[in-house]
């Protein structure tokens, strides 16, 4: 147990550093959004491009892993969507709740955690999981939100909005560009490789501190909540931290009978807390964001316990 905690301590220590710096006023009101912008537009794209550009096709060809994580994410998204719609929740809000339950924080928590547990072999699977979460699960949520909010808009306009939101996302463009570069016979110049290494090396610590800053603001906003919002947030947290890793574990170990280490990576990625993406969606579309913020907060805090138990079991 102490060995497991020593793995998680650096991860949650950086989150706590961001949280405390915001609460004590060391970091200002715009710190979370600005640091998040640095991670999303500079550091994490550099890391994703570098990983994919230096990979070969044999490392990228992980069909069982892709199917397990895709089914585990999309399947859970659909189940939560049906559940929320049956409760009478509007389609746009139900879609945000669904992505909150299926959106693992692979970019901010996944990369540093899996690197500590599995080493460099985890980087390509984590990148694949990030692409699935950001491009497919996120895109599904955008499609449904646009459908719910623009029922009168044409299908062409909806598709245009979705493609624009997805393919202008640097977290999608950078790994695709890296894969295309890997297909070429070119080699990255040493200066460019050093640039990417330095910039990508800042992704994990900056992302974790940014998450801590976000959680500090989420705690403040959680004071203004209803009992129903808090109840839903706890339900979504339980689905994220318990139901999703169990679903992925069943798929990986029983249905697909994956390589054991890859299966453990998939399960650990599924057990990660909810990322900040769903909150950004709620804010962008001007939907009620308290439930989403609380889900990110609750799942991140409780994941210290659930991840400790999972790593101890593994």
pTM for the model: 0.85
Mean pLDDT score, 46-68 = 85
The mean-pLDDT minimum among 23-32, 86-95, 121-130, 158-167 falls in 158-167
Domain residue ranges of the chain, discontinuous segments joined by +: 38-107+118-202+226-313
Mean pLDDT score, 257-269 = 94
Mean pLDDT score, 82-101 = 93
pLDDT > 90: percent of the chain? 40
**Can you give the pLDDT at residue 195?**
95
**Can you give the pLDDT at residue 159?**
66
Does the pLDDT value for residue 229 go beyond 60? yes
Query: pLDDT digits over 273-299, tens only?
Result: 998 888 877 877 777 778 888 899 899
Mean pLDDT score, 59-77 = 92
Which carries the bigger pLDDT value, residue 92 or residue 223?
Answer: 92
- Give the 3-state DSSP-derived string for the chain, with helices as H, strands as E and coil as C: CHHHHHHHHHHHHHHHHHHHHHHCCCCCCCHHHHHHHHHHHHHHHHHHHHHHHCCCHHHHCCHHHHHHHHHHHHHHHHHHHHHHHHCCCCHHHHHHHHHHHHCECHHHHHHHHHHHHHHHHHHHHHHHHHHHHHHHHHHHHHHHHHHHHCCCCCHHHHHHHHHHHHHCCHHHHHHHHHHHHHHCCCCCCHHHHHHHHHHHHCHHHHHHHHHHHHHHHHHHHCCCCCHHHHHHHHHHHHHHHHHHHHHHHHHHHHHCCCCHHHHHHHHHHHCCCECCHHHHHHHHCCCCCHHHHHHHHHHHHHHHHHHHHHHHHC
Q: Domain 38-107+118-202+226-313: which CATH class?
A: mainly alpha
């Amino acid at each position: 147990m102490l060995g497991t905690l020593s793995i998680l301590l650096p991860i949650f220590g950086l989150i706590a550093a961001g949280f405390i710096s915001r609460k004590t006023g060391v970091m200002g009101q715009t710190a979370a959004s600005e640091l998040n912008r640095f991670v999303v537009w500079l550091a994490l794209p550099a890391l994703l491009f570098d990983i994919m550009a230096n990979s070969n096709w044999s490392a990228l060809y992980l069909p069982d892993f892709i199917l397990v994580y895709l089914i585990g994410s999309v399947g859970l998204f659909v189940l939560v969507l049906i559940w929320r719609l049956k409760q009478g929740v509007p389609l746009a809000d139900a879609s945000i709740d669904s992505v909150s339950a299926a959106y693992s924080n692979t970019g901010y928590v996944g990369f540093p955690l899996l690197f500590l547990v599995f080493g460099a072999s985890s980087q390509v699977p984590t990148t694949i999981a990030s692409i699935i979460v950001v491009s497919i699960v996120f895109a599904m949520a955008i499609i449904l939100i646009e459908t719910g909010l623009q029922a009168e808009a044409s299908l062409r306009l909806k598709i245009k909005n979705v493609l624009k939101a997805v393919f202008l996302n640097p977290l999608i463009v950078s790994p695709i560009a890296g894969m295309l570069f890997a297909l070429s016979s070119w080699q990255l110049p040493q200066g460019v490789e050093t640039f990417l290494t330095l910039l990508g090396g800042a992704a994990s610590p900056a992302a974790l501190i940014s998450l801590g800053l976000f959680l500090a603001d989420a705690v403040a906003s959680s004071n203004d909540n209803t009992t129903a919002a808090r109840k839903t947030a706890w339900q979504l947290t339980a689905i994220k931290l318990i139901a999703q890793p169990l679903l992925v574990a069943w798929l990986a170990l029983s249905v697909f009978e994956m390589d054991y280490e890859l299966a453990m990576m998939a399960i650990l990625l599924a057990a990660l807390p909810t990322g900040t993406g769903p909150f950004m969606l709620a804010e962008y579309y001007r939907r009620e964001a308290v439930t989403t913020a609380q889900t990110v907060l609750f799942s991140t805090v409780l994941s210290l316990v659930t991840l400790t138990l999972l790593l101890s079991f593994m």
